[in-house]
């Protein structure tokens, strides 16, 4: 049984390594370093094995400084620190005090402002009385939740549905939990009730949607799985059942949140039409053409369109070959595959990997 005292000791050791590593890598000492995300809110993921207690998810850090590191130095530091604390990934974002004061009411920025732990320096956020209104989170965050959690529904296992060993099952279930929590976030953003804490969001879902047993039960399962990933094997039938239950709820919640026009994403053929009239995407496209001589935005969007086709091509084992064919053509067009494919499992993994490289 993992106790809060044990977590506190381990987390303090690891954040000391992280903060000192960042300070040593910088020419000028930062004003502050914050631990954000689940660990910053005291809701991080921890599991126990025969060796001891370990953090499961990434560490997210926000560094407040007038002199941020270059991209190359930051990437090198991320890898070094992840090795030193024994975790897969350490994410480091730099903010100048001026940028911090100009944050917008997005989920990312609200989670930074309201869900952090100060691990070095002075509390710049508190000193400057920086607050953000979660009621002003816009539909762009709904789209971002949809796009980012598509990967969890496509790239969280290798091969087809099969019996999972402990490590495979832990990762798969943790990813499914992320998708369900995102489904709840969509609903709360729609209702202008979003809050930073996982636990508080779960309580709100249970209160507001108490007549909807599906979202309530899956949310309670997701909270437990997200914070204390299980250490057990998983049978193929259980894997399939969980996957399609999570996927159905994820899409149902997006339909609820993005009303009145959810078909722009839930019907992949209409997604490109939506972005044809999307000003920000168009401007990024023009900038990319001028800066790089080619549209990296168009390539990235093609990968997103392909993922969306694959996501909707499999409904509880019923495959839509037309959607798979359209996804395959988009991957061929951008050089991610050399030959057409009609395999959902193959295209699922290919689009997930393409997204990581686009």
pLDDT score recorded for residue 280: 61
What's the mean pLDDT when you consider all of the chain? Answer: 93
Q: What is the mean pLDDT of residues 48-72?
A: 95
Q: What is the mean pLDDT of residues 254-269?
A: 96
Domains and CATH numbers, the chain: 4-132 (3.30.460), 138-266 (1.20.120), 267-358 (no CATH)
Q: Has residue 287 got a pLDDT over 60?
A: no
Calculate the CA 143 to chain-centre distance. 12
Q: What is the mean pLDDT of residues 212-224?
A: 97
Q: At 178, phi and psi to the nearest 5?
A: -60, -40
Residue with tokens 């050399």: 338
Q: Has residue 278 got a pLDDT over 80?
A: no
- pLDDT band of 294, cuts 50, 70, 90: low
pLDDT score recorded for residue 67: 96
Is the separation of the CB atoms in 197 and 115 below 8 Å? yes
Q: Has residue 290 got a pLDDT over 70?
A: no
Task: Please name which of 198, 169, 177, 220 lies closest in space to residue 39, comparing C-alpha atoms.
Answer: 198
Q: Has residue 292 got a pLDDT over 60?
A: no
- pLDDT band of 1, cuts 50, 70, 90: confident
Q: Has residue 288 got a pLDDT over 80?
A: no
Burial bucket for residue 184 (CB in 10 Å: 0-12, 13-18, 19+)? buried
- pLDDT band of 273, cuts 50, 70, 90: confident
Which of 1-10, 172-181, 279-288 is least confident?
Answer: 279-288
Q: What is the mean pLDDT of residues 228-249?
A: 97
Task: Please name which of 97, 95, 42, 37 lies closest in space to residue 69, comparing C-alpha atoms.
Answer: 95
Give the model confidence (pLDDT) of 177-199 as tens digits. 999 999 999 999 999 999 999 99
pLDDT score recorded for residue 282: 55
| Comparison of pLDDT for 25 and 297, the residue scoring more | 25
pTM score of the predicted model: 0.93
Is the separation of the CB atoms in 60 and 71 below 8 Å? no
Q: What is the mean pLDDT of residues 36-48?
A: 95
Q: What is the mean pLDDT of residues 51-77?
A: 96
Q: Has residue 7 got a pLDDT over 80?
A: yes
- pLDDT band of 299, cuts 50, 70, 90: confident
pLDDT score recorded for residue 357: 83
Q: Has residue 82 got a pLDDT over 80?
A: yes
Task: Please name which of 81, 92, 2, 86 lies closest in space to residue 45, comparing C-alpha atoms.
Answer: 2
| Comparison of pLDDT for 318 and 282, the residue scoring more | 318
Give the model confidence (pLDDT) of 102-129 as tens digits. 999 999 999 999 999 999 999 999 999 9
């Amino acid at each position: 049984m993992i106790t809060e005292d044990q977590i506190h000791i381990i987390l303090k050791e690891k954040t000391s390594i992280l903060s000192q590593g960042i300070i040593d890598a910088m020419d000028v000492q930062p004003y502050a370093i914050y631990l954000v995300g689940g660990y910053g809110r005291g809701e991080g993921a921890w599991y126990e094995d025969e060796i001891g207690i370990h953090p499961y998810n990434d560490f997210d850090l926000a560094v407040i400084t007038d002199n941020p590191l270059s991209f190359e130095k930051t990437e090198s530091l991320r890898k070094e620190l992840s090795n030193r604390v024994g975790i897969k990934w350490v994410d480091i974002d730099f903010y100048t005090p001026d940028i911090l004061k100009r944050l917008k009411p997005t989920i990312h920025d609200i989670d930074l402002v309201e869900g952090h732990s100060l691990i070095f320096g002075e509390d710049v956020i508190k000193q400057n009385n920086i607050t953000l209104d979660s009621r002003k989170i816009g539909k762009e965050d709904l789209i971002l939740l949809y796009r980012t959690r598509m990967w969890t529904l496509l790239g969280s296992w290798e091969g087809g549905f099969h019996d999972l060993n402990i490590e495979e099952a832990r990762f798969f279930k943790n990813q499914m939990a992320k998708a369900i929590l995102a489904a709840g976030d969509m609903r709360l953003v729609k209702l202008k009730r979003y809050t930073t804490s996982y636990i508080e969001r779960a309580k709100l879902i249970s209160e507001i949607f108490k007549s909807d047993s599906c979202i309530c039960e899956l949310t309670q399962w997701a909270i437990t799985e997200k914070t204390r990933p299980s250490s057990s094997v998983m049978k193929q039938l259980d894997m399939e059942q969980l996957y399609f239950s999570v996927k159905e709820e994820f899409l149902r919640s997006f339909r609820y949140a993005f009303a009145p026009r959810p078909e722009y994403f839930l019907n992949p053929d209409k997604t490109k039409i939506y972005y044809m009239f999307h000003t920000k995407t168009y401007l990024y496209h023009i900038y990319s053409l001028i800066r790089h001589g080619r549209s990296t935005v168009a390539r990235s969007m093609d990968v997103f369109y392909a993922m969306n086709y694959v996501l909707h091509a499999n409904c509880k084992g019923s495959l839509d070959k037309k959607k798979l064919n359209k996804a395959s053509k988009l991957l061929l067009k951008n050089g991610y595959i050399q030959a057409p494919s009609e395999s959902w499992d193959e295209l699922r993994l290919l689009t997930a990997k393409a997204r990581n490289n686009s």
